[in-house]
């Protein structure tokens, strides 16, 4: 399917809107890139893989639930270091992931 191209004066705006949408969408692709501190080796870039569950509205028959994230892997140089992280550190990562996709930044 061919997409109609915007006039030149509008192309910049469309491109900027698409880039913003891509940033917001990135956390829904089930990975998140961030920097973590690893003691003697210092701060390192990691890729955090996760499962995301959207919020569910409360109904008469179901209590509903808030949006949630479960970290499944934390990759440092292609090695999964999730098992070496504290529960508090993992909870902080989950909160960072949830906040990254919100307009208010938490």
pLDDT tens-digit series, residues 32-64: 899 999 889 999 999 999 998 888 999 999 898
pTM of the predicted structure, to 2 decimals: 0.65
- Selection from 51, 53, 39 nearest residue 89 by Cα: 39
Residue 79, pLDDT > 90, answer yes
Q: What is the pLDDT of residue 27?
A: 46
| CA angle at 104 for the pair 98 and 106, rounded to the nearest 5° | 50
Q: What is the pLDDT of residue 94?
A: 92
Residue 6, pLDDT > 70, answer no
Tell me which of 28 and 51 has the higher pLDDT. 51
């Amino acid at each position: 399917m061919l997409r109609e191209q915007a006039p030149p004066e509008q192309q910049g705006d469309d491109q900027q809107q698409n880039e913003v949408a891509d940033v917001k969408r990135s956390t829904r692709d089930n990975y998140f890139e961030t920097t973590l501190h690893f003691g003697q080796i210092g701060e390192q870039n990691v890729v955090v893989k996760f499962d995301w569950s959207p919020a569910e509205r409360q109904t008469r028959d179901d209590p509903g639930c808030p949006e949630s994230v479960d970290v499944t892997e934390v990759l440092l140089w292609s090695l999964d270091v999730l098992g070496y992280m504290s529960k508090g550190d993992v909870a902080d990562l989950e909160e960072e992931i949830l906040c990254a996709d919100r307009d208010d930044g938490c």
